[in-house]
Structure 1
Amino acid sequence: MKDSLVNAAPTAEQPRSTPGWTVAVVACAAQFMVVLDTTIVNVALPSMRADLHLTSAGQQWVINAYLLSFAGFLMLGGRAGDLFGRRRMFTAGLVVFTLAGLLGGLATSGPLLIAARTFQGLGAAFLAPAPLALINSHYADPRTRNRAIAAWSATATAAGSCGILFGGLLTDGPGWRWVMFVNVPIGAALVAVALRALPGDDGAGRGRALDVPGAVLVTAALSCASYGLSELEGRSWASPLTGGMLALAAVLLVAFVLVEARGEQPLMPLRIFRSRSLVLGNAAALAVGAVTTSVMYFITLYLQHVLGYTPMRAGLAMLPLTVAIAVSSLLVRRVVQAVGARLPLVVGWLLTAGGLLWQSRFGVDGGFVVDVLGPGVLIGLGLGTTVLPMTIAATSGVPARDAGLASAVMNSARQMGGGLGLAALNALAGAAAVTAAATVRGYAAALTGAAGLALCAAVLALLMPSPQPKPKPEPEPG
C-alpha cells in the first residue's frame, strides 16, 4: 500500500488554516493497520493450520482471500470515496475491517477464517484510498501536507516489518487468534476519532454511477483463477475442476473488459493502457506482488516446519529481509533521478533472482546465516530497488486527469500479483513435494519458480522506454 494513490493531486477541498495533526495521525494509523495485515498473518499460518485443520490450499487462501478481495474492490473503494464522501467511506471500511478481524479471531474452522479474511480485504479496499485523499484535501499548506504524506509513506514501510515481528510475538504469546484480534481495539478507537474529528464532505456526485459490476467481475475472475491454480497441487490441467475454474476465470475477465469498454463510468478506463510504460510498470507490479508474497510465505513455513523455529524466532529471522527492502527503496531514489527507471528496475530484478536462486539451495539442516540471512538480504535489496522505478513507470505517460487512476491500477496489480503468484507457486511446491516426498524440495521448487518470474520481469524491464536526454543549453549569441 505504500505506493497506492501516491500521485493523487492535492485539492482545495475544505482547507484548514490552522491544521492540527489529528487527520495525519488517523491516516497513518489506518495505513499501518492495512499494511500490517498483509504480513502479520504469515508467521501465524502454521499455528492456524494445526488448530483449524487447514489443508495446504486452505492455508494459502488465508493470505489470498485478503489480497484478492482487496485488489478487486480497491478502485471501487477509491471511486466511492470521491462520490459519497471520504470520511463516510473511510469509516464504513474501518468498521468492516474491524468486525472482520473480530470474526477471524473467533473462527472455529478454516472456511470461517477465510471468509473473515475476505471481508477484511473488502473493508481494506474502502478504507485504504481515503487516508491520502484526506491529507491532500485537509492540509492547505504544501509544506505541512508534504510532511504528513512523508509520515504516511514511512508508516507503510514500518508496518511491513512490524507485521512479521508482531505476528511472531502474538502467536508465541496469547496465540494466533490475537493476530486477528489486535485490529479490534485499534479499529474501534479509530472509528470513534474519525466520526468526531475528521472533516466531513458530501462527495462529488451522489447521482453518478458506481461501477459495482466491474468490481464484482474482476474479483470473481481473480478468485476463480487463484482457485484453479491452487487445485493444480493435486490435479492436472485437464481435470474438470481445474480446467473449469480457469476457463470460468477467462470468461469473467472478458466480461469485465467488455463492461469497462462500454460503461459510462468505468472502474478502469481502458484508455490508460495505451502507454507502454504504464503496461510494463503494471507487469512489474504484478511480479513484485507475486515474489514478495511468496517469499514471505515459503520462508516462514521453511523456518517453522523444517528448521523448527518458534513463531517469534521466525519473525526475527525474517526481519533483515524487510529492513533491506526499506533501505534499498530509499537509496535508489538518486539513482533513478540520474539514469531513469529502466536500469534500476533491471538491476533490482537480477538481484532478486540471484537471491531467490541462492535461497532455493537450502536443505533440511540449513543454517541461519547461509540459508536465510544472506539470501534474504539480497532478495530484500533487489525488491526494494524495484519499487520506485516500478511506481514511476506505472504512473507516467498518462494525462494528469488519470494520474490517480494509474496509481490505483498499479496498487491493484500488486495485490493481484500476490494472490495469483502465491496460488501458482504453492501448486508448484505441492506438486514437487508429493513427487519427491520432501517438503523442503517443494519450497525450493517454488522459490526457483519465483526466480524465473523475476528474470522474466527483468527482460520486460528492458523493453521500457529509454529516459529522454536533457536538452543541452544553447550557447549565448556573441
Structure 2
Amino acid sequence: MSLTETPPPAITTLTPRLRLVLVLLLAAQFMLAVDFSILNVALPVIGQGLGFPLGRLQWIGTSFALCAAGFTLLFGRVADLFGRRRLFLGGLAVLAVASLAGGLAGSPEVLLAARVLQGLATAAVTPAGLSLLTTSFPEGPLREKALGLNGALMSAGFTTGAILGGVLTDLLSWRWAFLVNVPVALAVLLIAPAVIAESRTSGPRPALDLPGALTVTVGLLAVVLGLTQAGERGWGSPYALGALGAGVALLLLFGAVERRVAEPLVPLGVLGRRTVAWGNLAGLIAFLTETSLVFLLTLYLQKVLGFSPLAAGLSFGVLGVGTVAGGTLAPRVIGRIGSRRTLIVGGVVQAVFTAALLGLGTSHASLWPLLVATFAGGVGNMLVIVAFMVTATSGLTDGEQGLATGLATMTQQIGITMGTPVMSAIATGAMTGTGTLAVLTGLKTAIAVNSALVLLGVLTSAVFLRGGSGRTSVV
C-alpha cells in the first residue's frame, strides 16, 4: 500500500506549542495507565457496596482488559485512516462519560457497562495518542525524549493507580477511582483542539479491511479472555483452553486474510520488519515480566511479611521512582549507544535485579533489599520499554504510525494481561505444602522464571536486531 504524506517541517527544538502538546498527550496516557490498576485494591469494597457476587468481581477487571486489548489494533489503523486527533478526542469524550457513569453506578450491570466503555476508550485513545506523539515529534532525539517521558509516566501510572486506589477508597469512596478521570479528560478535551493539529494520511483514503478487522479483534478478545480465565480457573480449565484455542485459530485466519486483501489492516511488509517484529517481542516480555513481578511482590509483602494492602501499595512507590528515572535516562542512553544496545543493557539490569530478589526471606529486614532491587529493576525495565517504542516505530512513514503504535499498544496490553495468570500458575504449582515458607518457595520459583524470561528478551534483541535497519525482512 502506497500512502502519500505531506512532509512536516523540520523540528529541532521544543517550541512552547509542542511543550503543551506533549503535556496534553502525556496527561492522557498517564490517566489511562492509572485506570489499569486503580480498582484492584477497591474490588472487595465495590462488591459490598453494589452487591456484586464474589464470583463476578473479576469481571470488573476482565471486561476492561478484554476491550482495551481486543480493539487496540483496529483503532490504531482507524486513526491512520480517519484522523488521529479525531479518534483521540472522541475516545477521551467516551472515557469521561464512562467514568462518570461508573462513579454514579447503582448496580453491577451499570458498573460493568462503564468498564466496557472505559476499555473501548482506552483502545482508541492509547494508539491515537501515541501516533500523535510520534508524528508531532520527528524521528531522532526529540521523539526519543517524548517517548521516554511517555514510558516513564505510563509505568509510573500503573504504580500510582495501585496507591491512589487504596488512598481514595480509604479516605473517600471507591467511586472516586472512577470520578478522578472526569476533570482530567475534560481539561484535555477543552485545550487539545486548539493545540494539537489533525494528523491523517493524505490522498485517497484506503478502504478499511473489515474481514481482517473482525478476525483480529475477535481473536484478540478470545486470547485475552482465555488468559484471564486461566488465571481464575487454572490452565487446565476447558473455558480457558477453549477460548485460547479459538483465539489462536482466528489470529491464524487473520494472517491468511491479510495475504489476500488488497488493502490489509496490517500490511505484512510492516510485520516483516525486524524492528517491528523483534522490537514488539522485547516489549511483550518487558511488560509481562515487570507487571507480573509487581503481582508476585504484592503477595510476598502481604502473605509473607504481613503488610496491609495499602502499605504494600505504598511500597511500590520506589518502583515508580525507578521507572520515572529510567524514562528520563532512556533518551540519553539511546542517543549514545542506540536502541538495540539499550534493549540489551536495560534487559540485563532488569534480569540481574530480578534475580537478586531470590534472596528475600521471611523477616522485615528483606524490605530494604526489595526496595533497592525494585528501584534498579524499574530503571532497567523502563530502558527496555522506551527502546522498544523507539525501535517499533522507527523507519515507518507517518501514515503507518497509527498501525505501529496500535501494534505496540496491543503488545503492552497483552503483556500486562498475560503476566499475572502465567506467574500465578507457576507460583501456585511450586507451593508444596502450606504456610509462609511454602508461599515463599512458590514465589521464588516464579521470580526465577521471570528473570529467565527477561534474559530471553535480551538474547532475541542481541541476535535478531543485529544490523537491522528496520527494512530487513524477518525471514
- The match for 1:426 is 424
Aligned with residue 120 of structure 1, among 114, 118, 121: 118
- The match for 2:282 is 284
Deviation at 1:379, TM superposition (A): 1.8
- In the alignment, is residue 273 of structure 1 matched against residue 267 of structure 2? no
Query: Which AA in structure 1 matches 2:421?
Result: A
Distance 1:363 1:267, change over 3 A: farther
Deviation at 1:383, TM superposition (A): 0.5
Give the whole-Å Cα distance in 2 for the aligned partners of 1:138 and 1:128: 15
Deviation at 1:380, TM superposition (A): 0.9
- The match for 1:88 is 86
The residue correspondences of 1:251-330 to structure 2 (distance < 5 A) are 251-304=249-302, 306-330=304-328
Give the whole-Å Cα distance in 1 for the aligned partners of 2:160 and 2:344: 29
Conservation of the 8 A alpha-carbon contact between 2:350 and 2:376? yes
Normalised to the residue count of structure 2, the TM-score between the two structures is 0.77
Distance 1:148 1:348, change over 3 A: closer
Distance 1:373 1:198, change over 3 A: closer
Cα-Cα RMSD: 4.3
- The match for 1:460 is 460
Is the partner of 2:464 in helix, strand or coil? Answer: coil
Specify every segment of 5 or more residues in structure 1 that has no aligned partner in the other structure, as ranges: 1-7, 470-478
Q: Say which is worse superposed, 335-344 or 376-385, in terms of deviation.
A: 335-344
Give the whole-Å Cα distance in 1 for the aligned partners of 2:19 and 2:376: 38
- The match for 2:346 is 348
Q: Say which is worse superposed, 190-199 or 276-285, in terms of deviation.
A: 190-199
- The match for 2:12 is none
Q: Say which is worse superposed, 395-404 or 317-326, in terms of deviation.
A: 395-404
Q: Say which is worse superposed, 178-187 or 248-257, in terms of deviation.
A: 178-187
Give the whole-Å Cα distance in 2 for the aligned partners of 1:360 and 1:226: 30
Deviation at 1:152, TM superposition (A): 6.3
Q: Identity of counterpart residues, as a percentage? A: 34
Conservation of the 8 A alpha-carbon contact between 1:68 and 1:415? no
Deviation at 1:90, TM superposition (A): 2.5
Normalised to the residue count of structure 1, the TM-score between the two structures is 0.77
Give the whole-Å Cα distance in 2 for the aligned partners of 1:131 and 1:278: 19
Equivalenced residue count is: 455
Conservation of the 8 A alpha-carbon contact between 1:222 and 1:249? yes
Give the whole-Å Cα distance in 1 for the aligned partners of 2:273 and 2:18: 40
Specify every segment of 5 or more residues in structure 2 that has no aligned partner in the other structure, as ranges: 10-14, 470-475
The residue correspondences of 1:176-255 to structure 2 (distance < 5 A) are 176-193=174-191, 208-232=206-230, 240-255=238-253
- The match for 2:173 is 175
Deviation at 1:284, TM superposition (A): 0.4
Distance 1:212 1:305, change over 3 A: farther
Conservation of the 8 A alpha-carbon contact between 1:280 and 1:460? yes
Query: Which AA in structure 2 matches 1:453?
Result: L
- TM-superposition CA deviations, 1:287-341 (whole Å, max 9, x none): 1121122123333344345544445433331011121122133334444444434
Query: Which AA in structure 2 matches 1:417?
Result: G
- TM-superposition CA deviations, 1:251-290 (whole Å, max 9, x none): 1111221232223332221112222343211110111121
- The match for 1:3 is none
Conservation of the 8 A alpha-carbon contact between 2:358 and 2:448? yes
Query: Which AA in structure 2 matches 1:31?
Result: Q
Deviation at 1:420, TM superposition (A): 2.1
Deviation at 1:414, TM superposition (A): 2.0
Conservation of the 8 A alpha-carbon contact between 1:222 and 1:420? no
- The match for 1:474 is none
Conservation of the 8 A alpha-carbon contact between 1:72 and 1:216? no
